[in-house]
Each structure stands twice: as C-alpha cells, then as structure tokens.
Amino acid sequence: MENLLRTGIREAVRSLYGKDASDDQLQIQKTRKEFEGDLTLVAFPLASLSQRSPEKTAGEIGEYLAAHLDAVSGYNVIKGFLNVTIAPAEWARTLQEISGVTRYGFMVPGPEAETVVIEYSSPNTNKPLHLGHIRNNLLGFSLSRICEAAGNNVIRTNIVNDRGIHICKSMVAWQKFANGATPATTGKKGDHFVGDYYVLFEKQLREEAEKLIAAGATPEEARDNAPLMQEARRMLVKWEAGDPDTVSLWQMMNSWVYEGFDVTYRALGVEFDKIYYESDTYKVGKEIVLRSLGEGHLVRRDDGSVWIDLTADKLDQKLLLRSDGTAVYMTQDLGTAVIRYNDYHFNRHIYVVGNEQNYHFQVLALTLLRMGYDWAGGLHHFSYGMVELPEGKMKSREGKVVDADDLIAEMTETATVMSQELGKLGGYNETEKRNICRQIGLGALKYYILKVDPRKNMTFNPAESIDFNGNTGPFIQYTYARIRSVMKKAGETGVKAANETVGGVIPNLKEVSVIKLLNDFPALVREAATGMSPALIANYCYELAREFNQFYHDFTILGESDEMLRSFRLRLSEMTGKVLESGLWLLGIEAPERM
C-alpha cells in the first residue's frame, strides 16, 4: 500500500512541479490514531521542490492524488502533513494480494544477507535454570527467529560457564558434604542436585565468615580468608593446572548438570546451533591476552596480574588475568568472541545478557578493538531488564529463586485448572488434554514475558498471565483456534475462499481494520529485528486478535448468504489465522488447533 502511494506522490510532484522527488524526500508513515487517515506524507522535504509552504504543498499533492488515484478516497492536511485515506476497495485488493504470498511477512536471505550470531542462555553449571534464565532464553530465541524472518542468516549460540570459582564452590561442597551421593542415588534432577551444594557452600561460608568477623575482620576480609573460600581457590588453581582428580570430579558433576539443562531446554522449546564451553574458550582468551601484552596493548602489574587501561575512553582499568595466572570472565569472553568470528565471520554478534552487565560489554568491545580486531565494532549487547516476583528479587546464593522447571510445571497445572473451570477440555482424551494445557501454560508464560519492552524491569505474576481474555497468550491462542474451527467447518460444508473474488468486495470498517493490521505485518517484522524487540511482535498479535474478535462478534462468516462476501470473510479469517500463527512462532509459542 505504501509503495502504491509512493508511486502516486512521485507522479504528483512531477506533474505539479516538473521535478523528481528523491527517496529521502518521500517520507511516508502510518497516520497517528488521533487523526483521520491511513498514511501520512511529511510534506516539509518537498517544499524545496514546490517552492510553496509545506501546508500548501500537502494540499496540492492531496488534491492530485484524490483526482488521479482510485486507491485514494480522501485526504486532509494538518499543517505540513498530508493524511491520506485509502479506499475500502483497495484494502480488499490488498487482502487478495497478500493472500497469495508464501510465508507472508518472512524474507528469504539473499546473497547480501548479514550473518548474525545471537548468544543467549549462558548458564552456570553450579545451579539450575531459574526465572531470570527463562526471560533470557525466551528473548534470545524469539530474537533469533525474528532476525531470521527479516532475512538474516542467524546462528544461535550458547556459552556454558563451566569453570571458575563458582563452579569450584559446588565441587568443594560435594567433596566435603555429599558422602558419595549422586543424582541417581537421590532421584534428583542433576542441575538441582549440584545447585544444592552451591547453596550449601554459601551457607557454610557465611558461618565461617561470621566467626572471623567476630574476631575483628571486615566482612570482605572474612569471606576472602574463610577456610572454605581458600579451599575453593586452591581447587581452581589445580583445575587450571589440569590436575587429573580435580578434572575428573569437574567432568562428572558437569555431566549431571548438562542432563538437567537439556530437559529444561526441551520443555521451554528453545534450541541452539552451537554450544561453546568456557573451559575451552578461556584458554584462547589467555593466549590473546598474553600476545596483546607482548604487543604493548596491556600492562602487567607488580603482583603479576594483567590489565587493560581504558581510562582514555572514559572507562576504567580492567583485570584480564589474576596474579596467580587464572582467568576472569573477561578473559573467556575475549576468547569466545575470537573463536566465533573465526567460525562464522559474522557481521553482527548479539549478546543477550541482563543490563547489570552493560559495562562488561562496553569493555569487551573496546578491548578487542584495542587489540586490533576491527570486527568487534559489530558486537552488540542486547541489554534487558531484570525479572522479579511480586515479593521481590531472587537470590541464587541463598537458594531463593523461582526454579524454571517448577515454574513450567506450575504454569501447565494452572492452565489445566482454569481450562477445566471454563469447560474447555470437553471431548479430549487425556493425552490431548495434557498437550493442550502444556501449550496454553507455556504460551501464557512466554507471552507475559515477551510482551514487555525488554529494556524494562518486569514483575512476573503467574496468576495474571493465564487468562483467556485480555492481553495474554491464551487469548491469542484461543483466537487462532477459533479461526481454525471456522476453516474446518468450511471444509466440511464445502465452502471455499475463492481468492479471485476477494478483490471485488467492498469491505466494511471492521474488515478494513483487520486488513490494515495484516498489511502491517512484514514491516513490523523488520522493525522488530532492527529494534531487537520481540515485544513489538507480541503486542501486534494481541491487537490483531482483538480486532478480529470484534469483527467475528459483529458479522457472520459461514452464515453469510452473499457467496462473494462469504468467500471474502473466509479468506480474511484464514489470512488472520496464518499471520497469528506466524507471529506466535516468532515468539516461540505454539498455536493449538483446538482449545
């Protein structure tokens, strides 16, 4: 529709003023809701061609369009803005046109397509995934699908933080307190089992620290000098030195965690093209740091530690290697970035990580640039806000978290209870009931999280997320299922949506509202990819579902006696269903055929 109007405006400028308008001078946008119209031309850039005021220019172009373009049924001018109203018949032709497009709204990557690496999840092997990880995984996976739909070659990656002092804490606690217990002997999921020992370590550490504080140490000195912390540090040094017993213990405990992670990832419906491990990438990072040190980009202090000085860039000095030679997070991130670039030669690399790491990723990109890696200009931090519960923040060290597995199970159970109360499970066998309730529960969870602007902190309230009315996942899923029911009945009664007749209908206002939203979908996908915002897709799906339901409430579809109009409405319903299904897919949400 925008292209049609753009062509008409070019002709108007050429006819009225004898000049050609450039692409930059043709600024067209959706008309703001408080004004009448569908599309708005910003006339200010064209005033230089018309040698008239922007308001006069807008009026003359509007008059030309109304006289020469059948698609334009009216216009109005607000200062230098021309608001154009598109004729209802043109919207019918738009529906006919987009109905024939395969994978409508999705672009196929061409020869010039960018390669985009997206990193998300990034779990630690000392604890199970929790609610914070859920937001990370859902944002990252949805963003990967959106970028793919916008025509990029996307690689989904995960970096597992499987080394470092936090991992050694769980290992020390298991050695001291487990008495040989395993996930198999306790019947506990592996990541939960190991996470319990991380919490136990912190509990024992606090007790040791309190004794040292009572003896006169500061809280920081007490934690650093507590025997348990010293033992964890010694274990880290032994691990980096390749001590066989330490490495064997590490491999065994990590294997328990990976089995647990895989179960959670499958339940969430997220996946990765490649998984990297910090235990591999930190070695490359150390090599990079030492080479850069030799090239004069870094400094070694008297205690042997290695730093980069970024004060000239209004940042700080950053530690890259400890005095004992062990690596820090930045070390492994340097290695991971270089390995990934060598693997994929990406144009862009997007890190999906919470906003508490904003400074870290500023330092990472600048450090790599200082080291001579020009491609580091393509590193982007997808910074998102924290997710909290109504009762406040979560604390992993104290075990005060909302476990991902428990939350997934709770959402499914809540969906089951609500569906039963609303009488929506009649006629299903037990397997079908479980699957539908799983789809509804996860749809509610995913939508509730993804509809929020990712930059904002959010409070997750499970009770609010599952509702078959309002701005929720189940409402959109139910709308899709309703459309599928209509299409099924149409098939059973032999009613078809003949596309060749669709363009001959004059749609009413409700139908036009739905078509306008359908027409917006391709541009919205591109906007969501550029702005890295799954929330745009989520809220679009709700708006489309709401508009369709208003149409469905006011007008009959299969009961319409006019054959051409019935065919038109059936096509409108079918196309709405396809776009809702595509939108939900971009969010990683399943679209049930029945509800």
Residue 329 resides in a domain: yes
Is residue 347 in some structural domain?
Answer: yes
pLDDT at 203 over 80: yes
Query: What was the pLDDT predicted at 272?
Result: 98
For residue 383, which amino acid is it? S
Residue 410 and residue 374 share a domain: no
pLDDT score at 498: 67
The proportion of the chain whose per-residue pLDDT surpasses 70, expressed as a percent, equals: 97
| Tokens at 234, concatenated | 């010694």
Residues 411 and 277 in one domain: no
Domain co-membership, 295 together with 332: yes
Q: What is the mean pLDDT of residues 534-542?
A: 98
Pair (191, 287) in one structural domain: yes
Mean pLDDT of the chain: 93
Lowest mean pLDDT among 428-432, 556-560, 563-567: 428-432
CATH number of the domain at 384, please. 3.40.50.620
Claim to verify: residue 159 and residue 82 sit in the same structural domain: no
Given 388, 421, 439, the domain boundary residue is: 388
Range 42-69 average pLDDT: 96
Can you tell me the mean pLDDT for 438-449? 95
Nearest to 484 by CA among 587, 372, 573: 573
* Domain closes at, from 34, 64, 86: 86
Q: What share of the chain is helix, strand, coil (3-state, %, to 5)?
A: 60, 15, 30
Segment 447-464 shows an average pLDDT of 89
Distance, CA of 223 to CA of 202 (rounded, Å): 10
Q: pLDDT for 463-519, tens place per residue?
A: 788 777 889 999 999 999 999 999 999 999 888 776 666 778 999 999 999 999 999
Mean pLDDT of 176-196: 97
Average pLDDT over residues 329-334: 94
Residue (of 500, 511, 503) closest to 573 by Cα position: 511
Residue ranges of alpha helices (H) inside 401-508 are 404-421, 430-450, 462-465, 473-493, 499-502
pLDDT of res. 395? 46
Q: Are residues 279 and 166 in the same domain?
A: yes
Is residue 594 included in any domain, yes or no? no
d(CA 144, CA 137): 10
Do 444 and 595 form a contact (C-beta atoms < 8 A)? no
pLDDT higher than 70, residue 202? yes
| Radius of gyration of the chain, Cα coordinates, nearest whole angstrom | 29
Query: Strands 348-354 and 115-119, how do they pair?
Result: parallel
Residue 183: pLDDT over 80? yes
Q: How far apart are CA 517 and CA 537, in angstroms?
A: 12
Residue 537 belongs to domain with CATH number = 1.10.730.10
Q: Is 397 exposed, middle or buried (CB count within 10 Å of its CB: 0-12, 13-18, 19+)? A: middle
State yes or no: pLDDT of 164 exceeds 90.
no
Predicted confidence (pLDDT) at residue 559 exceeds the cutoff of 50:
yes
CA distance 590 to 585: 7
Say if residue 208 is in the same domain as residue 317: yes
pLDDT at 394: 41
Look up the CATH number of the domain holding residue 50.
3.30.1360.70
Residues 450 and 531 in one domain: yes
Structural domain boundaries enclosing 198: 120-388
In a domain, 30, yes or no: yes
Determine the average pLDDT of the residues in 277-306: 95
* Assigned domain for 228 exists: yes
Over residues 545-571, mean pLDDT: 95
Please give the backbone phi and psi of residue 439, each rounded to the nearest 5 degrees, phi first: -65, -40
Q: Is position 469 within any domain?
A: yes
Q: In the prediction, which pLDDT does 141 show?
A: 98
pLDDT at 400: 56
Residue 305 lies in a domain: yes
- Check: CB of residue 41 under 8 Å from CB of residue 84: yes
pLDDT at 99: 92
Q: Tell me, yes or no, whether 424 and 486 share the same domain.
A: yes
Q: Are residues 445 and 553 in the same domain?
A: yes
- pLDDT band of residue 397 (cuts 50, 70, 90) is very low
Beta bridge partners of 153: 115
Determine, yes or no, domain membership for 595: no
Same domain? 437 vs 365: no
CA–CA gap between residue 91 and residue 110 (Å, rounded): 30
- Dihedral of CA atoms 258, 259, 264, 269 in degrees, nearest 10, equals 90
Q: Within this chain, do residues 429 and 538 fall inside the same structural domain, yes or no?
A: yes
Q: Number of folded domains in the chain?
A: 3
DSSP, residue by residue, 321-377: E-TTS-B-HHHHHHHHHHHHHHHH--SEEEEEEEGGGHHHHHHHHHHHHHTT-GGGG
Residue range 215-228, pLDDT digits in tens: 999 999 999 999 99
